[in-house]
């Protein structure tokens, strides 16, 4: 890296202003940030750090003397390929040589990078402006440096693949040669950005991942792989029931296990620290613990389901919130032709492939954390709180996460705090906290279970005229409205042309911890809206695609309409399908993108076999088409896994699914062939990490409806022991 | 009693108890951390290594059992099949989070060594023990076919 000279440091301050402007006025604080005061507050509080490697080209771009461009990724790489997406935004505007661009992950640092929040499928959308501006500003500095050196007008200078040229005089120089001069230029306040049809990189298949090699050679890149001198491994025995507290424990036998160093009580249970992972595990197994269940959740799933049904029927003293209201007569009873639907959905685990883990060390005021963190700036604040220090003294080294699906993005930072609490006991020795798979599956923060009753008054035209919706779902956050629980319902195009809508949400609170799970409320609202619309179409004697088309036209839902038309075309909708198979389709908007999916399904006994899925995506400008396809494939696999098997159930408060034997997950032989088509667009990019998930369950349910005539009113399709009380099989 | 292991062609003496799962000996004692813990009960395949050429789940294999066997991990696996698999994986950008991929590569290499040109059914059988929560399955399947084709073309 070249040293930033004094003038460049000034430029750097100015650059911050450019980016700062983009931050304040731009999309960064939209979405997750707005509904998460914790995240925003945390980000603000964590100021005080300085940019570890100041660069003349701003916080996100470093250029080495050999011309290699390093892009600093402030988002969490959890498999979605964001590192390549962000690098492409910068490389496009900088006109860098893509093959000489590398990416490094940023530590937590609000001052340098702004709030570091990876959530809501917004990483491309929120970086779309700031990263392109950063790239364009750096490009302008090279152009100016060359113009001065060659004494030619700036307008005559071109940049391509990291080479600055003046074609008229046949002079050219790579970035490396102009680097020192360029670093002294002042970055322009508002550099011109390219028009979409001038893109050379964005939207092409050249935007490929840059992290494949370490991932296929076993390089130690994850939190699980961290090894520090003197490091201990910690495991924690948690209460088997949510809300249970430690009464007393006996560690005599645990301390006899070779390699166990200590065992002590912490806020969340009993921690065992040992020289190795296996010793920690055996030590933990040898603990004798008594739990105090007086405040614990003791109900079984069947009881919670019954309670939810009572609440939805109004037999409750909870007062609901209105999530959708329209029309004078919203409260009046539905009359005439009324169709009624009920749905039940279970708790779901995230089960990222890497079980939860975090490395922490505490030395006086200083805390060092290594973690695959979505919300490093939030973790900083949470860690500071339990270590009794200030956020600026907490360094979060962000490493790739072995998946997350939302689990590593909790405002509560549960396992991060746990690691810090343990590290306070180990006299400066770093601690690697490891949760076992069982800990993860039984440890809470699930996609909430929910119950819904929906009644539709059908008009003479066969279309929905009036809606009454009742939902019951635990709140996802300790504060604010519970809007995520019903996202995707209130704004559904199917409600748009109705004369009245009455949507109410009950949000009971009890100790089972819930959180965001890939696609959040959409993970079930899509199932309801898309499956009931198929049933309404059948009642009206119409083809499900034609019925949707009518409703989309009435709602002026132009994007839905386009996606549906393309889906019908690509999926041969209306053509014959092999004997024994049926097709089902679903279209749903989530995280700003509209995704349509068609599933071709047959039944093997009661087991749905999904052979083929066609997916149509409208996600604005496609920065990295191949990674979008990967996310849609992954979303379909993830959603299908949950739809087929996903259910975390309680028996007198104790979680029944503890590992992949009792909670099966989709395997390679069950993965359908997937064809993904991205609609061309000139709109700014929207999400792709989550929107692939919601449509698959209703697409399959609709195919089963076509196959058997029977609707599905609960998930999963295949109910293991414990989940049978979630409703009858489809 | 120390145990002598043959790991990636080298003899390594370890002090772990004989019933310690091989996974933890590899990771914590020998520092070979590319073999990963995902479930501990032989259900996910993240811990797959080769023992005498066979793909096995190291998380449930007591280290005492593999004394004198030839153990190969993702760090040491080599040969034309390995190169073909890695090239195919790279060409198709297979990994997402990547956490399962050491195990996927080990299973795929073992498959290609037994069946150089596997059918889809062969792939189903050999690869269904390896979970991928990111669901990179279709790319894994396609990459195995690519690697098989590359391997069958004379150089
Ligand atoms: S960790 Fe061994 S199979 Fe899962
Ligand atoms: S790539 Fe994430 S689990 Fe396979």
User: Per-residue pLDDT for chain B (155 aa), expressed as one digit of tens each?
Assistant: 899 999 999 999 999 999 999 999 999 999 999 999 999 999 999 999 999 999 999 999 999 999 989 999 999 999 999 999 999 999 999 999 999 999 999 999 999 999 999 999 999 999 999 999 999 999 999 999 999 999 876 54
Task: With beta carbons less than 8 A apart as the criterion, state whether A621 and A678 touch.
Answer: no
Cβ-based contacts of A105 with chain B (< 8 Å): none
Check if the interface score ipTM surpasses 0.90: yes
The reply to whether A101 and A78 lie within a common domain is yes
Q: Residue A117 and residue A61: Cα distance in Å, rounded?
A: 19
Q: A182 and A233: one domain?
A: no
Q: Are B41 and A661 an interchain contact pair (Cβ–Cβ within 8 Å)?
A: yes
Which residue, by CA, sits nearest to atom 4 of ligand 2? B132
Residue A233 and residue B28: Cβ atoms within 8 Å? yes
Q: Ligand 1: which atom is nearest the Cα of residue B43?
A: 3
> b vs e for A145-171, b when ≥16 Cβ sit within 10 Å of the residue's Cβ?
bbbebbeeeeeebebeebbbbbeeeee
The answer for residues whose C-beta is within 8 angstroms of residue A21's C-beta and 6 or more apart is none
- Our CA-based measurement puts residue B93 at a distance from the nearest CA of chain A, in whole angstroms, of 6
Please tell me the total count of domains within chain A.
3
Q: From the list B20, B93, B128, which residue is nearest A668 (CB)?
A: B128
Does residue A316 lie within any of the structural domains?
no
The answer to whether the Cβ–Cβ distance between A659 and B40 falls below 8 Å is yes
The DSSP annotation for A284-302 comes to HHT-EEEEE-TTS----HH
Residue of B88, B96, B139 to mutate, testing the A interface (most A Cβ within 10 Å of its Cβ): B96
**Based on the domain organization, do A512 and A624 belong to the same domain?**
yes
pLDDT in tens, A536-580: 999 999 999 999 999 999 999 999 999 999 999 999 999 999 999
Structure tokens at A78: 């959890």
Residue A307 lies in a domain: no
Q: Euclidean distance between the first and final Cα of chain B, in Å?
A: 48
Residue A614: HSE in the Cβ half-sphere, 13 Å Cα cutoff: 17
From A378, A407, A434, the end of a domain falls on: A434
What number does the ligand 2 atom closest to the CA of A79 have?
2
In a domain, A334, yes or no: no
| Statement to judge: residues A231 and A203 lie in one domain | no
Opening angle at CA A509, ends A507 and A510, nearest 5:
145
Query: Per residue, what are the HEC states of A229-286?
Result: CCCEEEEEEECCECCCEEEEEECHHHHHCCCEEEEEEECCEEEEEECCHHHHHHHHHC
Distances in Å between the Cα of A106 and the Cα atoms of A201, A369, A640, B12, B86 are: 24, 13, 34, 37, 28
Q: Which atom of ligand 2 is nearest to the CA of B135?
A: 4
Do A204 and A260 fall within a single domain? no
The per-residue pLDDT for B80 is 96
* Residues A514 and A639 placed together within one structural domain of the fold: yes
What is the distance between the alpha carbons of residues A155 and A29, in angstroms, rounded to a whole number?
A: 35
| Domain C-terminal end among A410, A434, A458 | A434
pLDDT at A19: 27
Task: Specify whether A472 is located in the same domain as A424.
Answer: no
A287 and A210 in a common domain? no
How many angstroms separate the CA atoms of A467 and A458, rounded?
A: 9
Q: Do both A424 and A482 map to the same domain?
A: no
For Cα atoms B97, A399, A70, give the angle at the middle one, nearest 5 degrees: 95
Low-confidence ranges of chain A (pLDDT < 70): 1-54, 110-112, 114-115, 117, 119, 722, 725, 727-730
Q: Considering only the beta carbons, identify the residue of B102, B124, B141 that sits closest to A218.
A: B102
A4 belongs to a structural domain:
no
Q: What are phi and psi of A250, to 5 degrees?
A: -130, 120
Distances in Å between the Cα of A682 and the Cα atoms of A476, A621, A692 are: 34, 6, 21
Q: Quote the minimal CA–CA distance from A609 to chain B in Å.
A: 15
Q: Which chain A positions have a beta carbon within 8 Å of B123's beta carbon? A: 668
Instruction: Give a three-class secondary structure readout of B81-93.
Output: HHHHHHHHHHHCC
Q: How far is the CA of B46 from the centre of ligand 1 (A)?
A: 5
DSSP A136-179: HHHHHHHHHHHHHHHT--GGG-EEETTEEEEGGGTEEEEHHHHH
List the domain range (segments joined by +) for residue A80: 17-217
Which of B105, B106, B133 to mutate to test ligand 2, by most ligand atoms within 8 A of the CB atom?
B133
- CB-based contact A500:A455 (threshold 8 Å): no
How far, in Å, is the centroid of ligand 1 from the Cα of B78? 22
Indicate yes or no: CB of A630 within 8 angstroms of CB of B93.
Answer: yes
Q: Which residues' Cβ are closer than 6 Å to ligand 2?
A: A 79, 353, 403; B 95-101, 132-134, 136
Contacts of B135 in chain A (CB under 8 A): 633-638, 641, 666, 671
A403 and B134 within 8 Å at the Cβ level: the answer is yes
Chain B's closest residue to A662, CA to CA, is B43
Ligand 2 test: best mutation among A353, A627, A671, most atoms within 8 Å of CB?
A353
Which ligand 2 atom is the nearest neighbour of the CA of B96?
Answer: 1
pLDDT for res A140: 93
Note whether residue A38 is domain-resident: yes
Q: Would you call B28 and A276 a contact, using CB atoms and an 8 Å cutoff? A: yes
How far, in Å, CA of B25 to CA of A276, rounded? 9
- Partners of residue A220 in chain B, C-beta under 8 Å: 33-34
Q: Is residue A342 part of a domain?
A: no
Q: Which of A402, A434, A466 is the last residue of a domain?
A: A434
Contact B124 A351 (CB under 8 A): no
Q: Write down the pLDDT at residue A725.
A: 67
In a domain, A127, yes or no: yes
Residue (of B10, B147, B5, B2) closest to B80 by Cα position:
B147
Smallest CA–CA distance, residue A453 to chain B, in Å, is 32
Between β-strands A357-363 and A431-434, what pairing exists: parallel, antiparallel or unpaired? Answer: antiparallel
A276 and A188 in a common domain: no
Residue A24: Cβ-neighbour burial (10 angstroms; 0-12, 13-18, 19+): exposed
DSSP 3-state of A458: strand
**Nearest by CB to A353, which of B21, B27, B38?**
B38
Q: Give me the pLDDT at residue A11, please.
A: 34
* Nearest residue to A179 (alpha-carbon basis) of A58, A89, A66: A66
pLDDT the model gives residue A33: 27
Contacts with A209 from chain B: Cβ below 8 Å:
93, 95
Same domain, A107 and A92: yes
Q: Are A276 and A431 in contact (CB under 8 A)?
A: no
Q: Which residue has the tokens 């055996």?
A: A282
* DSSP letter (8 states) at residue A640: H
- Check if B37 has its Cβ closer than 6 Å to any atom of ligand 1: yes
Residues A264 and A388 in one domain: yes
Q: How high is the pLDDT of residue A103?
A: 86
Q: How far is the CA of B44 from the centre of ligand 1 (A)?
A: 5
> For residues B66 and B130, what is the distance between their CA atoms, to the nearest angstrom?
22
Q: Which secondary-structure segment (H or E) carries A94?
A: helix A82-94
Ligand 1 atom index nearest CA of B38: 1
Interatomic CA distance for residues A307 and A161, integer angstroms? 63
A105/A371 Cα distance (integer angstroms): 12
Is A636 at the interface with chain B, CB within 8 A? yes
Contact between chains at B96 and A436 (C-beta distance less than 8 A): no
User: Which CATH number goes with the domain that contains A284?
Assistant: 3.30.365.10
Does some domain include residue A315? no
Flag if B99 and A674 touch (Cβ within 8 Å): no
Chain A CB contacts of B129 below 8 Å: 667
* Contact call for A355 and B38, based on CB within 8 A: yes
Token reading at A44: 């603000």
Q: Mind listing the domains of chain B with CATH numbers? A: 3-72 (3.10.20.30), 80-152 (1.10.150.120)
């Amino acid at each position: 890296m070249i040293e930033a000279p004094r003038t460049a440091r000034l430029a750097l301050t100015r650059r911050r202003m450019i980016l700062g402007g983009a931050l304040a006025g731009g999309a960064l604080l939209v979405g997750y940030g707005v509904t998460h005061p914790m995240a925003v507050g945390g980000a603000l509080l964590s100021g005080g750090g300085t940019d570890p490697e100041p660069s003349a080209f701003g916080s996100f771009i470093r250029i080495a003397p050999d011309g290699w461009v390093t892009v600093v990724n402030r988002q969490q790489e959890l498999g979605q390929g964001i590192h390549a997406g962000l690098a492409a935004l910068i490389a496009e505007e900088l006109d860098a040589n893509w093959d000489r661009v590398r990416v490094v992950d940023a530590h937590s640092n609000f001052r340098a990078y702004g709030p570091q929040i990876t959530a809501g499928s917004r990483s491309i959308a929120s970086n779309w402006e700031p990263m392109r501006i950063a790239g364009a500003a750096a490009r302008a500095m090279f152009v100016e440096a060359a113009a001065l050196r060659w004494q030619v007008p700036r307008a005559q200078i071109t940049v391509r693949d990291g080479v600055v040229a003046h074609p008229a005089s046949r002079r050219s120089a790579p970035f490396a040669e102009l680097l020192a001069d360029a670093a002294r230029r002042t970055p322009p306040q508002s550099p011109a950005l390219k028009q979409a049809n001038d893109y050379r990189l964005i939207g092409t298949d050249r935007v490929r991942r840059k992290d494949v090699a370490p991932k296929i050679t076993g390089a130690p890149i994850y939190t699980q792989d961290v090894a520090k001198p003197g490091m201990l491994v910690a495991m924690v025995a948690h209460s088997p029931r949510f809300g249970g507290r430690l009464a007393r424990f006996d560690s005599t036998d645990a301390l006899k296990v070779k390699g166990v160093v200590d065992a002590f009580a912490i806020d969340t249970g009993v921690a065992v620290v040992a020289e190795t992972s296996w010793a920690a595990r055996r030590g933990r197994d040898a603990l004798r613990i008594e739990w105090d269940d007086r405040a614990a959740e003791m109900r079984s799933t069947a009881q919670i389901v019954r309670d939810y049904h009572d609440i939805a029927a109004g037999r409750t003293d909870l007062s609901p919130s209105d999530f959708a209201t329209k029309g004078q007569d919203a409260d009046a009873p539905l009359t005439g032709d009324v169709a009624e639907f009920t749905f039940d959905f279970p708790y779901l685990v995230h089960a990222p492939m890497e079980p939860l883990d975090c490395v922490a060390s505490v030395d006086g005021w200083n805390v060092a954390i290594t973690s695959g963190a979505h919300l490093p700036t939030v973790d900083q604040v949470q860690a500071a709180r339990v270590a009794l220090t200030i956020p600026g003294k907490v360094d979060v080294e962000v490493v790739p996460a072995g998946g997350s699906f939302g689990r590593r993005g909790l405002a509560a930072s549960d396992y991060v705090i746990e690691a810090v609490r343990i590290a306070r006991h180990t006299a400066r020795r770093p601690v690697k906290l490891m949760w076992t798979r069982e800990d993860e599956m039984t440890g809470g923060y699930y996609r909430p279970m929910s119950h819904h009753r929906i009644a539709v008054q059908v008009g003479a035209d066969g279309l929905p005229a009036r809606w009454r919706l009742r939902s019951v779902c635990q709140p996802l956050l300790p504060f604010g409205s519970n809007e995520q629980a019903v996202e995707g319902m209130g704004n559904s195009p199917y409600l748009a042309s109705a004369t009245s809508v009455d949507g109410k949400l009950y949000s009971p609170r009890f100790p089972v911890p819930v959180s965001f799970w890939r696609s959040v409320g959409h993970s079930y609202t899509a199932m309801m809206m898309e499956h009931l619309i198929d049933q309404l179409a059948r009642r009206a004697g119409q083809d499900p695609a034609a019925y949707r088309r009518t409703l989309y036209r009435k709602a002026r839902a132009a994007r839905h309409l386009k996606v549906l038309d393309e889906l019908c075309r690509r999926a041969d909708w209306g053509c014959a399908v092999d004997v024994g198979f049926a097709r089902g389709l679903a279209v749903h908007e989530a995280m700003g993108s509209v995704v349509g999916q068609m599933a071709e399904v047959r039944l093997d006994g009661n087991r749905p076999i999904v052979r083929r899925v066609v997916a149509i995506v409208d996600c604005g400008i496609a920065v990295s088409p191949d990674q979008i396809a990967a996310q849609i494939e992954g979303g379909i696999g993830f959603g299908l896994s949950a739809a087929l098997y996903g259910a975390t159930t309680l028996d007198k408060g104790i979680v029944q699914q503890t590992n992949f034997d009792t909670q099966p997950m989709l395997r390679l032989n069950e993965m359908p062939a997937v064809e993904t088509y991205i609609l061309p667009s000139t709109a700014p990019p929207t999400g792709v990490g989550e929107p692939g998930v919601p449509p698959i369950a209703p697409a399959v349910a609709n195919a089963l409806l076509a196959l058997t005539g029977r609707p599905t009113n609960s998930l999963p399709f295949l109910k293991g022991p414990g989940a049978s009380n979630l409703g009858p099989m489809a | 009693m120390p145990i002598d292991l043959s790991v990636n062609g080298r003899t390594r003496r370890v002090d772990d108890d004989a019933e310690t799962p091989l996974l933890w000996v590899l990771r914590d004692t020998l520092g070979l951390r590319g073999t990963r813990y995902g479930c501990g009960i032989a259900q996910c395949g993240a811990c797959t290594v080769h023992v005498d050429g066979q793909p096995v789940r190291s998380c449930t294999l007591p280290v005492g059992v593999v004394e004198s066997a030839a153990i190969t991990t993702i760090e040491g696996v080599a040969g034309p099949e390995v190169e073909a698999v890695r090239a195919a994986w790279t060409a198709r950008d297979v990994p997402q989070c990547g956490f399962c991929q050491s195990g996927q590569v080990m299973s795929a290499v073992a498959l290609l060594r037994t069946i150089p040109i596997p059918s889809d059914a062969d792939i189903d059988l050999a690869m269904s023990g390896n979970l991928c929560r990111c669901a990179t399955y279709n790319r894994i399947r396609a990459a195995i076919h690519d690697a098989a084709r590359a391997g069958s073309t004379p150089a």
